[in-house]
Structure 1
């Protein structure tokens, strides 16, 4: 018998799983630039979670072509990185540092790796681009009527961080996340539990209560889970009080009898790795919280 299942209270326990399905990121000044955000508004409409942080500045140094390989050179601080991109036959590098670089194919179509694409590769291949999490918040409104951008445009903490000053070589950056709106439930079945008489009832209750959890509730739970996980410098609420039975939101979770909550940021396309004073740089982050302090109810992360 696995030790973690010994002497547990119930043979059926549930965990609510939440994860970000897409994102929008931009420099903080971009939230005031209508032309910049216009193409992103449809994506932003679904983003109710936002993270404010610092990212290193990327300085594009130049480009070169070797046969059918494009080489882009980028500096971060005093370190230079060369990224190699395979080009299709017939595609040629054109331009210069002053007017801009681009590659052109035989039909005249022009394109070039975006800063996000470059950042993604620098992060994945060299661990060179990170995002220091300073503040996490959410905006939902009535039936999801408000999104992260609505809140950020009048955000006192964003202004406070900017006024305190941004370190040289860094940019104040916004990451907006869209959390998967569908409910997900993970259930454990424990044949060694003390009470095995309520299994069928607890399965039904878990499913009934799961689908009674609203998107607004999940947005707040996701926000609170990430704040407790990252412990951002500028957050106050939830840093030390989550999970807590004194919170109405958590009281509802206890009523639904969830045993644990999980909030994930696992998006391969992110152009940086998130970190904070208490969480190391990683490409994926999973905030896991038991909702019960009693040892006999802790079955997911024991």
Structure 2
């Protein structure tokens, strides 16, 4: 009789939510494990459209050292808005409208291709959560399980504790074994397994099967917090073992395969953290005669079995241990227990977006512009929108010393960065005192650029990098000239707007020119307006100097519920 197991998910959280119970309804076994803490170092993260690189501190206080990791993404994903929570123990980022989040350890293990140093999890306890008629599950059992609380208490200030829910994906019975034909094994008798150990029509794993699997796992790993079932004793069978033997079963196989999972399990008894564990146990009812066509665990010396197992691992190293890792995605509404209580990812934003779409669907197809002016000549500011309570939101074009203000607009794709920049364009056109130069960093706004060109609404347009370099070079030359001579009162203000600026800043020459404009532009009445997905260093072309300078000017964060907190974090870059 063979059972195949796989990890459903590896959690670093307590099970105290009915949502998790519903998500893991078909799991009836779990592993409690530990490993050294893994925390992503905040200032080490570099986010590019197609990859993320970061450094991680290994150990509760980083005592085990720091390592650098990288993750490459498919071209169809555009990574943005990478954030760290819980002091680097939890991450989140977006690809378009999809939010990804989870434990820092899982992301690091994926980047490390599940190397034992990162993926290794020491098994502390194995338990089953099987109630009447199979209705109890991992959530129900773990929540009321004092053993888990004891483990948490024993590891305060030490390694991280994980709970892995296991799912039985397949159960089967087959006649191939090492049993002598003289034992008159009957197929009809083996049919008793169906419904007792092997699922019947409803695919529900029977209770005795869960008992056998738990026993096999505990006897294999011998976890320190398990007090019973630490040996498989055919001479002292459990109720489940006797029941299985009574159906004619003579051999139990439990194949535990963690392919795709970021964890590799081991224990003091099983020293090597491997992707899979094949556990085989006999169910002898009496001493059996020798059979030359097979082997019996009763008749094989333990030393030979150990050598045989080592050879099997060596033979399978090229196939079974392929470093394949995948992150499980719950979708936009992950169970509440999936993340730490202190981490607020604002999941309700999806419901609000749905309501907003419904409201927009009820609006008339044509919205008329009421002629409101975005530019206020007396205050020298642009009105760019309104708060929920109707309070106007404005951008001050100059500071108290009369220096031009830069502005950086942050937000993931589809959240209105380009639209806000177009509002600023309208306001600067209405001012009739700002020379507007527009750069499209990615050529994704080509129709809008053609519209500006046909209407001759701006002074200079750039839809490729060569033209963009000409604009930036001219702006630097003008700013330098203005600072080396006495200013004329009638000199026109210059505004350079760069949509998808991260694309342009990836070019060294463009980055160098933008860095210089960020520094000298304000005193020369030359301002920058940049659109970026987020405030990660890679978005600024890796230039700390550029990010530091722009952090001292204005910024706007779109799609952010905690915009004030994010603004404070961005402002802190300007103080460094």
Name the TM-score, length of structure 1 as normaliser: 0.77
Give the corresponding residue for 2:30. Answer: 50
1:22 Cα shift? 4.6
Q: Which has the higher contact order (CA 8 A, sep 6+)?
A: 1
2:80 aligned with 1:88, yes or no?
no
- State how 1:111-130 maps to structure 2 within 5 Å: 111-112=99-100, 114-115=102-103, 116-122=106-112, 124-125=114-115, 127-130=117-120
2:212 aligned with 1:221, yes or no?
yes
Deviates more, 1:46-55 or 1:124-133: 124-133
**Conserved in 1, the CA contact under 8 Å of 2:49 and 2:80?**
no
Give the corresponding residue for 1:188. Answer: 176
The CA RMSD over aligned residues, in Å, is: 3.1
1:247 Cα shift? 1.8
Separation of aligned partners in 2, 1:92 and 1:248? 54
Separation of aligned partners in 2, 1:57 and 1:261? 36
Give the corresponding residue for 1:70. Answer: 52
**Conserved in 1, the CA contact under 8 Å of 2:21 and 2:138?**
no
Separation of aligned partners in 2, 1:21 and 1:56? 23
1:88 Cα shift? 1.6
**Conserved in 2, the CA contact under 8 Å of 1:260 and 1:300?**
no
Unaligned runs of 5+ in 1: 1-15
Separation of aligned partners in 2, 1:90 and 1:261? 45
Which is helix-richer, 1 or 2?
Answer: 2
Separation of aligned partners in 2, 1:148 and 1:119? 24
Number of aligned residues: 272
Give the corresponding residue for 1:149. Answer: 139
1:24 Cα shift? 2.7
1:56 Cα shift? 2.5
Cα pair distance change 1:112/1:246, threshold 3 Å: closer
Give the corresponding residue for 1:4. Answer: none
Separation of aligned partners in 2, 1:161 and 1:22? 21
Separation of aligned partners in 2, 1:22 and 1:129? 14
Give the corresponding residue for 1:9. Answer: none
Give the corresponding residue for 1:159. Answer: 149
Which is strand-richer, 1 or 2?
Answer: 1
Give the corresponding residue for 1:265. Answer: 256
Separation of aligned partners in 1, 2:7 and 2:154? 30
Separation of aligned partners in 2, 1:126 and 1:252? 38
Q: Which runs of 4+ in 1 moved over 6 A?
A: 98-101
Give the corresponding residue for 1:8. Answer: none
1:126 Cα shift? 5.9
1:131 Cα shift? 1.1
**Conserved in 1, the CA contact under 8 Å of 2:109 and 2:115?**
no
Separation of aligned partners in 1, 2:210 and 2:72? 39
Deviates more, 1:268-277 or 1:67-76: 67-76
Q: Secondary structure at the match of 1:51?
A: strand
Give the corresponding residue for 1:6. Answer: none
Give the corresponding residue for 2:12. Answer: 27
Cα pair distance change 1:164/1:151, threshold 3 Å: same
Q: Which has the larger radius of gyration?
A: 2
2:270 aligned with 1:286, yes or no?
no
Unaligned runs of 5+ in 2: 60-64, 198-205, 301-576
Cα pair distance change 1:92/1:272, threshold 3 Å: closer
Name the TM-score, length of structure 2 as normaliser: 0.43
**Conserved in 2, the CA contact under 8 Å of 1:70 and 1:87?**
no
Q: Secondary structure at the match of 2:189?
A: helix
1:142 Cα shift? 1.1
2:238 aligned with 1:256, yes or no?
no
Cα pair distance change 1:213/1:117, threshold 3 Å: farther
